[in-house]
Amino acid sequence: MTADLSRASLETGEVLMVERLGGGLLELVARLPHLAATAMPGTFAQLRCGAGTTPLLRRPFSVAWTQDDTCGFVFEAVGAGTRLLAELQPGDPLDTLGPLGHGFTVVDSGTVVCVSGGLGCAPFPLLINELRRRGVEDILVLNGARTATRLYPAERFARPAVPVVAEATDDGTRGHHGPVTELLGQALASHVSALYACGPNPMLGAVMRTLVESGTELPPTLEASLEAPMGCGFGTCLGCALPVRGEDGSAAWRLCCTDGPVMAMREVDWEGLSTLPGADVA
């Protein structure tokens, strides 16, 4: 079960801009022709942060969108690596390795729901673009964040035509006052062919719990993009283990980087995952 890395490549691109979206969200745009041509929805790139040995490891980022030879990444300057990325100037080099990882299974019909929590917005523009390319028009985005300024702008989930975006904030400053999972009920009223989720692991666990407790039939395609502290990003360090359950209920580890980051939500051991520290801990 060796990961397929046939599309992955080292590529040094050129930073075009780092845009401040408000609320601390940043969008890094870089000219990366190889990545732009090969990234599939849900795959990621390992970005080098600075040229020195601290921070040492690359940082994984979902490819948020591609356009011609350009890629976008959404992030927040929360640690040593992301602070360096936030300081990048137009014209600076950007050392990347990608695309990496197992992406979304993109359906080509029916109603699709995308559930985003915070920076979990990152993989959705590329996914929605691909869904539309395949003729899927009925797309609902449930977008949640702590507060209004931290909501990824609705118009950025897809260009030019914006999908239906329902928003929720923990503090009630915009949209539904409460967690994004409370918007799931109305979304599940109609038959859903695919539900895709991305956000902090506890939020993803809450999505799964809400789905199961709703008693409605689970969408045939039900996938989440997960996160874990990562060493290499290409399956050799074995550092990014996540708990899964086999069909017989047996516990096992899967690698976030090559078995994921997108995994079938039915296979994730959500209870086991909930006991683990967040990816920010490392």
Partner 1 sequence: MSQSGFASVDLGRGLTLPNPVGLASGTAGYGFELEQLIDINRIGALYTKGTTVRARDGNPPPRVAETGGGMLNSIGLQNPGVDVVAADYAPRWRGWTIPIIVNIAGGSIEDYVHCATVLEPVAEIAGIELNISCPNIAQGLDFGRDPDAAARLVAAVRTVTERCVIVKLSPNVTDIAAIARAVEDAGADAVSAVNTYIGRKIHRASGRSVLPLGTGGLSGPAIQPLALAAVAAVGDAVHIPVIGVGGIVDAASARDFLIVGASAVQVGTATFVNPETALQVLDGLRAD
Residues in contact with partner 1 by the rule CB under 8 A: 2-6, 8-10, 48, 53-58, 97, 228-242, 252-253, 258, 276-277, 279, 281-282
**Helix, strand or coil, per DSSP, at residue 207:** helix
**Cα 166 from chain centre:** 18
**Helix, strand or coil, per DSSP, at residue 125:** helix
- 153: phi then psi, degrees, rounded to nearest 5: -55, 135
Least CB distance from residue 236 to partner 1, whole Å? 4
State the Cα–Cα distance between residues 178 and 15, nearest whole angstrom. 37
Least CB distance from residue 119 to partner 1, whole Å? 19
State the Cα–Cα distance between residues 71 and 68, nearest whole angstrom. 8
Place of tokens 């990325």: 85
Residue closer to partner 1 by CB (options 118, 235) is: 235
Cβ atoms of 51 and 134 within 8 Å: the answer is no
Residue closer to partner 1 by CB (options 91, 281) is: 281
Residue closer to partner 1 by CB (options 61, 152) is: 61
Least CB distance from residue 181 to partner 1, whole Å? 24
Residue closer to partner 1 by CB (options 148, 276) is: 276
Longest dimension (CA), the chain: 53
Least CB distance from residue 93 to partner 1, whole Å? 14
- 106: phi then psi, degrees, rounded to nearest 5: -90, 120
State the Cα–Cα distance between residues 59 and 231, nearest whole angstrom. 9
CA distance readout (Å), 84 to 42, 51, 59, 62, 159: 24, 10, 11, 18, 29
Least CB distance from residue 262 to partner 1, whole Å? 18
Least CB distance from residue 51 to partner 1, whole Å? 11
State the Cα–Cα distance between residues 112 and 274, nearest whole angstrom. 26
Residue closer to partner 1 by CB (options 102, 156) is: 102
Residue closer to partner 1 by CB (options 7, 132) is: 7
Burial status of residue 185 (CB atoms within 10 A of its CB: 0-12, 13-18, 19 or more): exposed
Least CB distance from residue 229 to partner 1, whole Å? 5
Residue closer to partner 1 by CB (options 114, 230) is: 230
